[in-house]
A and B are shown apart, each in its own frame.
Chain A
């Protein structure tokens, strides 16, 4: 199964500092409680920012998640299993009740900064920066 999201052109205004949480306005992708699963071979591409406000996003082995903007996890989590990969072009923010779990052996790349208030678990590889 392939899952994708299509958004319309969006104007995003962000205000952030290097040492404060990121604020995403008008995210491209919002998970408000659903369980989103990216199955093997599928690509979930988010052209802007992503928020997981509840629920979870599972990237199964050999699945791919690409977020071109920032990613914020409020509750629930982002789980990458096996060889499932993730690429976040912007920052990753894990809120107090958020979880990001990178199982082995795959790679999660965050080209920006990880802001972690919650739980960041890594059994595989996490690359920070470009």
Chain B
């Protein structure tokens, strides 16, 4: 409360020009100012007045006329009974002018309120900005009409955090825009000085809103900091470019339509659908983008720029690229797309999506199955990862870098997964079921190129242009025998010749319960299996003996394997796997054939590279096999594993040098076939000379002797059959019959 006094002098001149002089005194009144009134040409007047409380000297000259009036505020104060109907413009010109209101909102209508000062405010009559009747304090008190911050001067105008209907930035003054500015209608920028955004800017109208362009390349001057869209549809109009620096999000009822260019800042949370059309372009931010609503790329670009963080498509939502060559999805360098929902490309050529070779698409949804989007050969994925549930491809899938299959299988049937030389890794015994193709240009002969699971690979001696394995577990292979074969179909196709070591993995679920007792994993061999109508299987023995590497299920964490070296696409039957034939895994107990002269216990004596077991039948034809001692031909020192039940049947063939020798090492001198009445040895060889059996022959020479039992050794067979003229040379003990 202040008191001031004034003396008012009023005069009139003959031409009716008015002359007024007022002198005020004040006891500490604030806001006393001088007003230059008007030019006064008629006279020079100097008034000096001494007033009771104080005095002010007022000068009136023929050019200047000084007038003083008390100025405490320059505001509009609308009391509870007041009504303001503004269909024009109300302009606040002072820096601290306020629109102070105590009336109900419906007592106020507005066309334009223009703030021309640095710190204009909406308050209630008591000066409070919130929890009162101050306009714009919340959505229910939204300031009607347009609020324009406009000043043609180099000052900073502080924009008040309010709920505005329409908001405009105009003229050359700088604008300092705080956090929590809400615009329910139009936000416009008209020849405005620089605008600095210091928080989240909200578009919160229920009616469709256009997003105003702010497109500085960095910082928060002329570039939004954070943006939030609420309550209704929003559009980035055609021709507009909107850039921001920080978090973007919208609510679930605020669909976003991008016709221009919209660049998200850091983290982005999309809660309502995003539609990109009219050649618009949406670029994600540098932090995680959460797509909690559909993204529909109808015509335009959805871009994950280089080095952007992950884009996550949340469950039940879809990133859909429409059937239009101008509907595009691009993933840049070192980016990642987590597909927990769905990713679909409806453009059949699939050339409208581009993945940098360093990008990663991770299908990790829990829908079962989750669809994995096909890609074009010219536009492959970079890295591809799958996890959680089974993935079904909706077409051929191409990837440029690596494959990581986790938790469960990827089902490619009837399509093909194609990659080049990158790693393929698997966890939890997962597999790619169906065709897995590798383009092998620039491949080397040292690497294991993993195919459908962690234990299926090829290592090449001769590298083809490409090689495909179509692996289908629990599927009937060609020439399948349920008593001996692994129930897994492995079909190999290729371009150009190859020679390789091939490892084929299998699971316990591929072992049928119908396997015969004589069938065993350790007997698994690879066969070239032909399809119908002439189904047959030829055993592959590329080397003599074949170079097998096996790991049975009992020694595996879920996937066992059989590996064979020297398989080719051409050549003789023993090494050839024909194009399109199946690689059959058969565990039958075939008749073992000696393929080299050597000790009985030496695996490399036999065509299956293993010592005969008691269940085996054995043919020795053209080679000299010795038992119980060391000869110089192989110097093999490991003793026979089953000396008292060596085999079910032994046949010594007719070819020269066919011989089975029984010797001894100290007390290790007693040998027997399986003591069973049906077991026996047959010798067909008719030797040209009779070998001596008194002394062990430890040389490396082949011996053309049929059956020879040296002195000091004992051999028992339940039955012994000699063809006519065949010879048995016994220097030790030969027992025939059941012991």
* A residues whose Cβ falls under 8 Å from a Cβ of B: 2, 4, 6-19, 28, 45, 47-48, 68-69, 89-90, 94, 96, 102, 104-105, 111-130
Within 8 A of A (CB), among B6-49: 6-10, 12, 16, 18, 20, 22, 33, 35
Contact between A113 and B88 (Cβ–Cβ < 8 Å)? Answer: no
| Chain B residues whose CB sits within 8 angstroms of the CB of A16 once the complex forms | 1-2, 72
| Chain A residues whose CB sits within 8 angstroms of the CB of B126 once the complex forms | 19
B519 within 8 A of A: no
| Chain A residues whose CB sits within 8 angstroms of the CB of B78 once the complex forms | 114, 116, 120
Q: How far is the CA of A90 from the CA of B81 in the complex (A)?
A: 22
Q: Which of B90-98, B179-187, B493-501, B573-581 contacts A (4 or more CB under 8 A)?
A: B90-98
Contact between A129 and B92 (Cβ–Cβ < 8 Å)? Answer: yes
Contact between A129 and B85 (Cβ–Cβ < 8 Å)? Answer: no
Q: How far is the CA of A129 from the CA of B599 in the complex (A)?
A: 116
Contact between A129 and B6 (Cβ–Cβ < 8 Å)? Answer: no
Contact between B1 and A17 (Cβ–Cβ < 8 Å)? Answer: yes
B679 within 8 A of A: no
The residue from A11, A13, A111 contacting B74, defined by CB atoms under 8 A apart: A111
Contact between B4 and A128 (Cβ–Cβ < 8 Å)? Answer: no
Contact between A130 and B8 (Cβ–Cβ < 8 Å)? Answer: no
Contact between A11 and B6 (Cβ–Cβ < 8 Å)? Answer: yes
| Chain B residues whose CB sits within 8 angstroms of the CB of A128 once the complex forms | 74-76, 90-94, 97
| Chain B residues whose CB sits within 8 angstroms of the CB of A125 once the complex forms | 88-91
Q: How far is the CA of A28 from the CA of B8 in the complex (A)?
A: 9
Within 8 A of A (CB), among B148-207: none
| Chain B residues whose CB sits within 8 angstroms of the CB of A48 once the complex forms | 8, 10, 20, 22
Q: Which A residue sits closest to B10, measured CB to CB? A: A47
Contact between A90 and B70 (Cβ–Cβ < 8 Å)? Answer: yes
| Nearest chain B CB to A123 CB, angstrom units | 5
25 contacts between A and B (CB under 8 A): A4-B12, A4-B16, A14-B4, A14-B70, A19-B100, A28-B8, A89-B35, A89-B67, A90-B70, A90-B71, A111-B71, A113-B73, A113-B75, A114-B76, A117-B81, A121-B85, A121-B87, A122-B84, A125-B90, A126-B91, A127-B91, A128-B75, A128-B90, A129-B94, A129-B117
Given A113-B74, A128-B74, check contact A120 B82 (CB 8 Å): yes
Contact between B84 and A116 (Cβ–Cβ < 8 Å)? Answer: yes
Contact between A122 and B76 (Cβ–Cβ < 8 Å)? Answer: no
Contact between B10 and A9 (Cβ–Cβ < 8 Å)? Answer: yes
| Chain A residues whose CB sits within 8 angstroms of the CB of B2 once the complex forms | 15-17
Q: A113-B76, A128-B91 are in contact. List 19 more A-B contacts (CB 8 A).
A: A10-B8, A11-B5, A16-B2, A17-B1, A47-B18, A47-B22, A94-B82, A111-B69, A111-B71, A112-B72, A112-B74, A113-B72, A114-B76, A116-B83, A116-B84, A122-B86, A125-B89, A128-B93, A129-B75
B125 within 8 A of A: yes
| Nearest chain A CB to B627 CB, angstrom units | 119
Contact between A124 and B75 (Cβ–Cβ < 8 Å)? Answer: no
B511 within 8 A of A: no
Contact between A117 and B79 (Cβ–Cβ < 8 Å)? Answer: yes
Q: How far is the CA of A119 from the CA of B81 in the complex (A)?
A: 9
Contact between A130 and B77 (Cβ–Cβ < 8 Å)? Answer: no
Contact between B67 and A68 (Cβ–Cβ < 8 Å)? Answer: yes
Contact between A12 and B82 (Cβ–Cβ < 8 Å)? Answer: no
The residue from A14, A28, A122 contacting B87, defined by CB atoms under 8 A apart: A122
Interface range, B side: 35 or more
Q: How far is the CA of A1 from the CA of B665 in the complex (A)?
A: 148
Given A126-B89, A128-B93, check contact A45 B69 (CB 8 Å): no
B689 within 8 A of A: no
B555 within 8 A of A: no
| Nearest chain B CB to A17 CB, angstrom units | 5
Contact between B10 and A7 (Cβ–Cβ < 8 Å)? Answer: yes
| Chain B residues whose CB sits within 8 angstroms of the CB of A111 once the complex forms | 35, 69, 71, 74
Contact between B82 and A18 (Cβ–Cβ < 8 Å)? Answer: no
| Chain B residues whose CB sits within 8 angstroms of the CB of A28 once the complex forms | 8, 10
Contact between B85 and A119 (Cβ–Cβ < 8 Å)? Answer: yes
| Nearest chain B CB to A65 CB, angstrom units | 13
The residue from A47, A90, A102, A116 contacting B77, defined by CB atoms under 8 A apart: A116
Contact between B3 and A129 (Cβ–Cβ < 8 Å)? Answer: no
Q: How far is the CA of A79 from the CA of B77 in the complex (A)?
A: 19
Q: How far is the CA of A72 from the CA of B250 in the complex (A)?
A: 49
| Chain A residues whose CB sits within 8 angstroms of the CB of B22 once the complex forms | 47-48, 68
B127 within 8 A of A: yes
Q: How far is the CA of A104 from the CA of B90 in the complex (A)?
A: 12
Contact between A11 and B7 (Cβ–Cβ < 8 Å)? Answer: yes
Contact between A15 and B3 (Cβ–Cβ < 8 Å)? Answer: yes
Contact between A123 and B88 (Cβ–Cβ < 8 Å)? Answer: yes
Contact between B20 and A47 (Cβ–Cβ < 8 Å)? Answer: yes
Within 8 A of A (CB), among B630-667: none
Given A9-B8, A19-B127, A28-B8, check contact A118 B81 (CB 8 Å): yes
Interface centre among A7, A8, A9 (most CB of B within 10 A): A9
Contact between B83 and A129 (Cβ–Cβ < 8 Å)? Answer: no
Contact between A9 and B72 (Cβ–Cβ < 8 Å)? Answer: no
Interface centre among B3, B76, B94, B100 (most CB of A within 10 A): B76
